[in-house]
Amino acid sequence: MRPRPLVTLCALALLATAAPASATTGRQAAVQHLAGRQAAAAWQLRWSPSASRDGLDAFETIEDDRADSHPAGQPHIFPQGDDFRFTMHLVDRDTMTDRQRQEVTGMRTPAGGPYLVMKYGETWRFTYSMYIPGSLKATTTFTHIMQLKQPGTGTLPIMTMSLRRQGGTPMIELNAFTSDKIVGQTPLTPLQNKWIDVEVEVKIGDADGSLRFVVRDAGTTVVDSTATGVDTWLADRVRPKWGIYRSLGDTSGSLQDCYLLLTNMRAYQLVSSAPVRHEAEDATISGGVVESNHAGFTGTGFVNFDNAVGGYAQFAVNAAQAGNATLTLRYANGTSVNRPMDITVNGALVAGAKAFPGTGAWTTWQTSTVTVPLKAGANTIRTTGTTANGGPNLDNITIG
Q: pLDDT digits over 209-243, tens only?
A: 999 999 999 999 999 999 999 999 988 899 999 99
- 202, with CB counted inside 10 A (0-12, 13-18, 19+), is buried
pTM: 0.65
Tell me which residue of 66, 278, 179, 24 sits closest to 77, measured CA to CA. Answer: 66
Domains observed in the chain: 11-270 (2.60.120.200), 276-399 (2.60.120.260)
**pLDDT of 296-343, one tens digit each?**
999 999 999 999 999 999 999 988 777 888 999 999 999 999 999 999
Whether 348 shows a pLDDT value over 50: the answer reads: yes
- CB–CB of 139/250 below 8 Å? yes
Amino acid at 201: E
- CB–CB of 361/386 below 8 Å? no
pLDDT at 272: 65
Q: What's the mean pLDDT when you consider all of the chain? A: 89
82-91, 96-105, 118-127, 136-145: the lowest-pLDDT one: 118-127
- CB–CB of 331/356 below 8 Å? yes
pLDDT band for position 274 (cuts 50, 70, 90): confident
Tell me which residue of 278, 91, 122, 125 sits closest to 199, measured CA to CA. Answer: 125
Alpha carbon separation from 236 to 146, 224, 263 (Å, rounded): 20, 29, 28
**pLDDT of 148-188, one tens digit each?**
999 877 678 999 999 999 988 999 999 999 888 999 999 99
Instruction: Look at residue 178 and give its three-state secondary structure.
Output: helix
pLDDT at 312: 98
Distance between CA atoms of residues 159 and 144, nearest Å:
10
pLDDT band for position 121 (cuts 50, 70, 90): confident
Residue % of the chain over a pLDDT of 90: 79
Distance between CA atoms of residues 386 and 389, nearest Å:
8
More confident call, 27 vs 189? 189
pLDDT band for position 20 (cuts 50, 70, 90): low
